[in-house]
Amino acid sequence: MPKRQDIETILVIGSGPIVIGQAAEFDYAGTQACLSLKEEGYRVILINSNPATIMTDTEIADKVYIEPLTLDFVSRIIRKERPDALLPTLGGQTGLNMAIELHESGILDELGIEILGTKLHAIHQAEDRDLFRTLMNEMGEPVPESDIIHNLEEAHAFVAKIGYPVIVRPAFTMGGTGGGICHTDKELEEIVTGGLKYSPVTQCLLEKSIAGFKEIEYEVMRDSADNAIVVCNMENVDAVGIHTGDSIVAAPCQTLSDRENQMLRNVSLRIIRELKIEGGCNVQLALDPHSFNYYIIEVNPRVSRSSALASKATGYPIAKLAAKIAVGLTLDEMMNPVTGTTYACFEPTLDYIVTKIPRWPFDKFESAKRNLGTQMKATGEVMAMGRTFEESILKAVRSLETGQFGLSLKNGSEMTDEWIEKRIRRAGDERLFFIGEAFRRGVSVETVNDWSQIDVFFLRKLQKIVQFEQVLQANPFDFATLRKAKRMGFADITVAKLWNSDERTIYDWRKERGLIPVYKKVDTCAGEYESDTPYFYGTYEDENESVKSAKKSVVVLGSGPIRIGQGVEFDYATVHSVWAIQEAGYEAIIVNNNPETVSTDFSISDKLYFEPLTIEDVMHIIDLEQPEGVIVQFGGQTAINLAAGLEARGVKILGTSLEDIDRAENRNKFESALRDIGIPQPLGKTAVSVPEAVVIANEIGYPVLVRPSYVLGGRAMEIVYLEEELLHYMEHAVEASPDHPILVDRYLTGTEIEVDAICDGENVLIPGIMEHIERAGVHSGDSIAVYPPQNLSESQMSTIVDYTTRLAKGLGIIGLLNIQYVISEGQVYVIEVNPRSSRTVPFLSKITNIPMANIATKAILGQSITEQGYGTGLAIAPAGVYVKVPVFSFAKLRRVDITLGPEMKSTGEVMGKDTTLEKALYKGLVAAGMEIKEYGSVLMTVADKDKEEMVGIAQRFTNIGYHILATEGTARVLKEAGIPVKLVDKIGSEGPTLLDVIQKGEAQVVINTLTKGKQPERDGFRIRRDSVENGIPCFTSLDTADAMLRVIESMTFQTEEMSKQEVRV
Amino acid sequence: MMKKRMLILEDGTIFEGIAFGSDTASIGETVFTTGMTGYQETISNPSGCGQIIVMTYPLIGNYGINRDDYESIELTASGIVVRELSDEPSNFRSGMTLCELLTLKGIPGIQEIDTRKLTRVLREKGPLKGMLTAVNEEVDSQEKIAQLQSYILPTDLVARVSTKKPYPSPGRGERVVLIDYGMKHGILRELNKRDCDVIVVPYTTSTKEILALFPDGIVLSSGPGNPEDVEGAVETIKELVGKAPIFGIGLGHQLFALACGARTLKLKNGHYGGNYPVKDLTSGRTELTVQCHGYAVDEASIEGTGLEVTHKALNDGIVEGVRSTVYDAFSVQFHPEGSPGPEDSNHLFDRFTDLMKTSNREENINA
């Protein structure tokens, strides 16, 4: 069927900020969809609040709105733009929910706007638990039996009907509180009794437990002519019970016979047809490992994380084709973009094995519960391809960048057997490695299967890997053994350890003997048809299909999996760098391992190598491609960390030299560089023992910022105010020794400033300066950034421009750099210089229209900034105020303290822009998901150090009509200041405590600041967690509270009584 | 322990790998199949008689061999080529390993070779004669290549796989005579599912004998090789057309077309796998089909035969189905019974049973 001619303008809704469960995959899907619709000649209007994305680049759609994804703002844009149609299925759950809200508000009907692709009715049927269950029953498709119970008798009756095990889910509790799996009457009584108590409506859902079933996914597509296909099927290595986003996944399915496969394929296609999906859809099924019994777990009537994975795993671009289906095209009239010669109505067939491993944030959040269940916790994922399962999973392991190259744990040999069993029985982020350790100790596959429910197929493969370690060890420098090891995916580092050698020696030894990988094409068709798609993975076989072209090339290293501190912003810069390289006349080659991103879309670069970002894997590509050099400054710390190793092997690092990178990153060298350039930094020294740290702290004066020198990115960084806190930190958080020095710096309270700049060696272009709302001490990624600065004097601005220019030149930067300053008592100090792209590059690029990554790349390739037509110095700021507001995923991470501090905790960001700071802040906060209420109560419980400052804030809350609730100490100070306050009891008191206030929703805002270091203070922790779990905004920095207050103040009218006139006699 | 084996192709390409299955040497037409599941069905499909089958999916044997999924009792493939053989299957139905089955049935296998390279060679050059043989010093590969080049592939494949005696597969519904040119169990299974009363007959059965079974319909089964090599088949089908509704599948489709006066041709790249989109020209819908053929009906020869093209391969336009404009007869090149592969076109068996019913009714009326 030809495409629709009756529509012209299409509105696409993006997915908003990156949060756990909704990440970069929607930038990939949205970008593809917008470009795909433009390609068909439609006018595309895009709304997304996330500035860190390629999709919000102005080239991707005809009009791009970076505005909050709320009914209010989206409706305004709709009224302004009057689109003919709306495409909601490419913006994740956010996009879907927005479409439903718009529909329910009546605006779509009012303006005659059609919903393209999957219809709302189908979305409801798939998403609503009851409607879905009814539909499945009508279709005769099994869903796990369930019932709602109100007492123990009903629970027993349900179990009598369906048997154990059952899952208990208490109604209306957050995050599955009080639920669990029961195998016995005793457990049932215990959990149900507790669950009923937890549930405010004394009600639990009981569901037949299918934990232990195989979890299988089908990515299906259907068009308006009812053609339906399966793009890919996937088998979760972890059995049902762990969220698929937190499971290790293999594609295609490994342990299903064709009959099982066809049975589930037929079911998936029946469902997509019944729902009349037009576009992509994900069907999750549970299959009994001992029979043909299966259950439908869930259906997602939209593109998803799984569809992004399926697209990258097969090469088949689901989102791109889903967008075309939405405008009426059918699968059998569209070409398969990979082969270019066959049609899209086709099911890809693989000749390799794909493994996905999630990347969890537990390295950052050490206090978080690491066990995995039905609530997703991963922030990102890696994917790897190989010709054997072993090769595929080992490549994925080393792509994670957790320091692991094989199936082993740090200190694994010292752990008790009981501990290992426990960590395998109870799934957590490190289970794969505990399984490796179990096999090393001779635990049988059957036993591990019993503990983990993981299919023996996968366990045997893991066991084979561990067993081969011994073979390697027994045969040092034996070619045949090494060949076998490499074909199983062993890294040189692992081999080196077993052979008492080093990575470099192994690399050279096997290269001399011709043992190097070849690159195979990902072509959707297992080689059946010719394909020009430049999408490759490496493996140890005979024929290499990746041919070096005659053109000069440049390799760009990507940033790997999305994690806290290294998000989609780095992929944004990577993609722009690739485009700039192409514009400069080179072939752009990208190496990356993240299946969610735009950079791993094969149509972005001239060549895509889907490979781990390790020295070994990158060197193989460089050996083959012989590029002019490698660009490392856009791939975040991942790529920067590879620079030294690459240069040592003779690779040219383009842009800022390795020596200069080191000068910015190495503490001592940086200090001496600053002295040479003449730029002040906060006082600080290095301590190698506890007494020394105490002496230094006394010397420079509290508060001090302490951190170990050997970790990057704010880990284990803390601000301490007292000697006892310092001692506590030194004892508990770190171990000081000459090998592990501790940095003790003066903590300067003041305004934090962030600057991104580009340097070509001579000229420095500063697109913009940003001022943080939160004072120094809060990680820059967790601060609200304001552009242009609102509170800087002219001389401070020029000092910053001067320092930035001198730093860029003095440090020998070629390309991008990011600097953080603090202004304390009028004086500008430099805190940190990052010789690379930063989190704020997309934000600034979008605001200023200065394509920073592009200019930097061309500067790296030898074109000066002025030759490119740009000026130097600070660019002139465009009109308006722009704020970048961080977004957190705390609700998904149990036991994580939400206090803002030197360690970054946010997962994403949104942008707010308007004519005034207050308006921009309003948009930013709303877009970040905060509900701003014009009246209500604020609960305050602040540390002594903040009490003085708090009085002013409390007064302003009172002025706009808020009631103040406070705990004893805080209340006393407020009363003394003459502010009306209601006293709330502390936790553990008899009467209603502050936790009751939070749980009952009696406070609309919570302000809680930290008393001491992060270890003790359980009460504060509970206050903050309870706020998160009850969805109440909780401010741990008075600056953020102040910003929100300013917004409310600007929204409300003051109500003050008339002042009484004194009567003159 | 690990015996080496090699695969020699007539163009001189040699792959050295590890032996599994039977130790016999063998020669056959080397073809690749792209199905990711269904190796048991594929290697037991009589259409693969005499072929050395290359699996493009690298891990084969993962779910073992079970008693249910055979497509024939005897295995007639000449060899199996895989990247990695899984010798520790995991599936509740698994009764033995693929290696054990091949050893039992006397079929050699080879693993640990670059099957993607091999696939690309075959894509480039079309199916090649290949030889699986042990690696040892006495082997002179040049001699083997010469031997291969002069070797003539057998033409009696159907005779090797067709049943020697007729046998019933009873039901209470329509009487179907299924002519066995190398029938897959899947075809019989689909007819039985529809309660057909099936009698399977050898391909040499005469028209007279077939009609003496009073069929409500006749199914021409799939099978191996070149349709022109099947002696007597075309003549028999010619006589049968019009006597009862006919449904041809695979080789049966080609033979039906030949009987109607069309021609067949050998494809440079055959279709072997489970992901071939086929457009049903009547409904306009495209279905994913499983295919297994190196020959096809030549579209240019259709005119004037009383046939019309009903199905076409979406990707290369090859004729995938025809029907008679005169009689109740139709045929498809692909396998509507799936096994292995998609079952999207399973409804064709319903079309056939419906045809038998309506055809019967007309006859009854006429009588």
User: Which of A236, A325, A241 is closest to A281 using CA atoms?
Assistant: A325
Query: Could you tell me if residue B344 is left (phi over 0), alpha (psi between -120 and 50 degrees) or otherwise beta?
Result: alpha
Looking from the CA of B334 toward its CB, the CA atoms found within 13 Å total 36
Residue in B113, B123, B342 nearest the CB of A528? B123
> Are B338 and A262 inside 8 Å of each other by CB?
yes
DSSP-assigned letter for residue B183 = -
With a cut of 70, say whether residue B364 has pLDDT above it: no
User: Using CA atoms in the order A93, A96, A100, A105, what is the torsion angle rounded to 10 degrees?
Assistant: 90
* Chain A, window 403-462: residues with a beta carbon less than 8 angstroms from a chain B beta carbon: 455-457, 460
Determine the residue among B59, B125, B185, B292 to mutate to test chain A binding: the one whose Cβ has the most chain A Cβ atoms within 10 Å.
B59
pLDDT digits (tens, 9 = 90+) for B73-121: 999 999 999 999 998 999 999 999 999 999 999 999 999 999 999 999 9
Residue in B34, B63, B343 nearest the CB of A257? B63
Residue in B58, B338, B340 nearest the CB of A387? B58
- The distance of A225 to chain B (nearest Cα, Å) reads 7
Distance CA B121, CA A323 (A): 37
Note whether A9-127 and A387-513 share their fold: no
Q: What sign results for the dihedral spanned by CA atoms B270, B273, B274, B275?
A: negative
Burial class (CB in 10 A: 0-12, 13-18, 19+), B225: buried
Q: In this structure, what token pair is assigned to residue B224?
A: 């191996």
Q: Look at residue A104 and give its three-state secondary structure.
A: helix
Mean pLDDT of B235-243: 97
Q: In this structure, what token pair is assigned to residue A646?
A: 């690459």
B359 in a labelled binding site: no
User: Which of A265, A340, A523 is closest to B288 using CA atoms?
Assistant: A265
Distance between start and end Cα atoms, chain A: 92
Topology of the domain comprising A387-513: Carbamoyl Phosphate Synthetase; Chain A, domain 4 (1.10.1030)
> Are A457 and B343 inside 8 Å of each other by CB?
no
Determine the residue among B34, B280, B291 to mutate to test chain A binding: the one whose Cβ has the most chain A Cβ atoms within 10 Å.
B34
Residue in A256, A347, A389 nearest the CB of B63? A256
Burial class (CB in 10 A: 0-12, 13-18, 19+), A374: middle
Residue A476 identity (one-letter amino acid): P
A794 interfaces chain B, CB cutoff of 8 Å: no
Cβ distance B82 to B55 under 8 Å? Answer: yes
Q: In this structure, what token pair is assigned to residue A554?
A: 């440049």
* Chain A, window 331-350: residues with a beta carbon less than 8 angstroms from a chain B beta carbon: 331-332, 341-343, 345-350
Catalytic residue among B337, B343, B347, B363: B337
Contacts of B325 (CB under 8 A, 6+ apart): B306, B307, B308
Distance CA A389, CA B151 (A): 39
Looking from the CA of B298 toward its CB, the CA atoms found within 13 Å total 10
Burial class (CB in 10 A: 0-12, 13-18, 19+), B164: exposed
CA-only gyration radius of chain A, Å: 29
User: Which of A352, A350, A265, A529 is closest to B35 using CA atoms?
Assistant: A350
> Are B69 and A259 inside 8 Å of each other by CB?
yes
| Residue-level length of chain B | 367
Query: Could you tell me if residue A1000 is left (phi over 0), alpha (psi between -120 and 50 degrees) or otherwise beta?
Result: alpha
Q: In this structure, what token pair is assigned to residue A734?
A: 């770190």
Domain ranges of chain B: 4-154, 158-366
Residue of B nearest to A341 (CA): B315
Distance between start and end Cα atoms, chain B: 71
Looking from the CA of A605 toward its CB, the CA atoms found within 13 Å total 31
Determine the residue among A257, A519, A539 to mutate to test chain B binding: the one whose Cβ has the most chain B Cβ atoms within 10 Å.
A257
> Are B93 and A257 inside 8 Å of each other by CB?
yes
Residue of A nearest to B83 (CA): A387
Instruction: Using a cut of 0.90, tell me whether the model's pTM lies above it.
Output: yes
Residue whose structure tokens are 């609700």: A891
Give the CATH architecture of domain A931-1051.
Answer: 3-Layer(aba) Sandwich (3.40)
Q: In this structure, what token pair is assigned to residue A1012?
A: 């001491």
Give the CATH architecture of domain A519-654.
Answer: 3-Layer(aba) Sandwich (3.40)
**DSSP strands (E only) in A48-89:** 63-65, 85-87
Active site residue B337: yes
Topology of the domain comprising B4-154: Glucose Oxidase; domain 1 (3.50.30)
Which portions of chain A are predicted below pLDDT 70? Answer: 172-177, 709-715, 733-738, 1011-1017, 1054-1056, 1061-1065
Domain A9-127 grouped into CATH 3.40.50.20: yes
CATH superfamily of domain region A683-745: ATP-grasp fold, A domain (3.30.1490.20)
Q: Between the CA of residue A302 and those of A88, A222, A244, A295, A377, what are the distances in Å?
A: 9, 11, 16, 20, 21
Residue in B56, B275, B279 nearest the CB of A527? B56
User: Which of B157, B158, B180, B156 is closest to B167 using CA atoms?
Assistant: B180
Residue whose structure tokens are 């799939």: B222
Residue B332 identity (one-letter amino acid): V
Burial class (CB in 10 A: 0-12, 13-18, 19+), A668: exposed
- The distance of B58 to chain A (nearest Cα, Å) reads 6
Which helix (H) or strand (E) element contains residue A550? none
Residues of B in contact with A269 (CB under 8 A): 344
* Chain B, window 122-161: residues with a beta carbon less than 8 angstroms from a chain A beta carbon: 123
A261 interfaces chain B, CB cutoff of 8 Å: yes
Q: In this structure, what token pair is assigned to residue A305?
A: 């994380």
> Are A460 and B92 inside 8 Å of each other by CB?
no
Residue whose structure tokens are 């994925």: A396
B272 in a labelled binding site: no
Which helix (H) or strand (E) element contains residue B14? strand B14-21
Distance CA A641, CA A630 (A): 13
Residue in A346, A349, A527 nearest the CB of B120? A527
User: Which of A330, A483, A426 is closest to A1 using CA atoms?
Assistant: A330
Residue whose structure tokens are 């752990």: A415
Cβ distance A736 to A688 under 8 Å? Answer: yes
> Are B277 and A345 inside 8 Å of each other by CB?
yes
Cβ distance A399 to A593 under 8 Å? Answer: yes
Distance CA A299, CA A433 (A): 31
> Are A457 and B62 inside 8 Å of each other by CB?
yes
Question: Angle between the A417-425 and A431-440 helix axes, to the nearest 10 degrees?
Answer: 140
Residues of A in contact with B126 (CB under 8 A): none
Q: Specify the pairing of strand A228-236 against strand A294-300.
A: unpaired
Residue whose structure tokens are 């699986």: B132
Q: Specify the pairing of strand A85-87 against strand A166-170.
A: unpaired
Q: Which option is the CATH number for A145-208: 2.70.98.70, 3.30.1490.20, 3.30.230.10, 3.40.50.1980? A: 3.30.1490.20
Q: Which option is the CATH number for B158-366: 3.40.50.880, 3.60.70.12, 3.20.20.140, 3.40.50.620? A: 3.40.50.880
What count of other Cβ atoms lies within 10 Å of the Cβ of residue A63?
A: 16
B273 interfaces chain A, CB cutoff of 8 Å: yes
* Chain A, window 225-244: residues with a beta carbon less than 8 angstroms from a chain B beta carbon: 225-227, 229
Domain ranges of chain A: 9-127, 145-208, 214-348, 387-513, 519-654, 683-745, 931-1051
B186 in a labelled binding site: no
Q: Look at residue A663 and give its three-state secondary structure.
A: helix
Cβ distance B309 to B321 under 8 Å? Answer: yes
A543 interfaces chain B, CB cutoff of 8 Å: yes
Q: Look at residue A821 and give its three-state secondary structure.
A: strand
Residue whose structure tokens are 């259409």: B47
A365 interfaces chain B, CB cutoff of 8 Å: no
Q: Look at residue A579 and give its three-state secondary structure.
A: helix
User: Is the bond preceding B340 in cis, omega lying within 30 degrees of 0?
Assistant: yes
Distance CA A703, CA B166 (A): 96
Q: Identify any residues that bridge with A737 across adjacent strands, giving them in sequence order.
A: A740
- The distance of B357 to chain A (nearest Cα, Å) reads 28
Contacts of A1006 (CB under 8 A, 6+ apart): A938, A939, A940, A998, A1023, A1024, A1027, A1032, A1033, A1034, A1035
A82 in a labelled binding site: no
Catalytic residue among B185, B253, B311, B335: B335
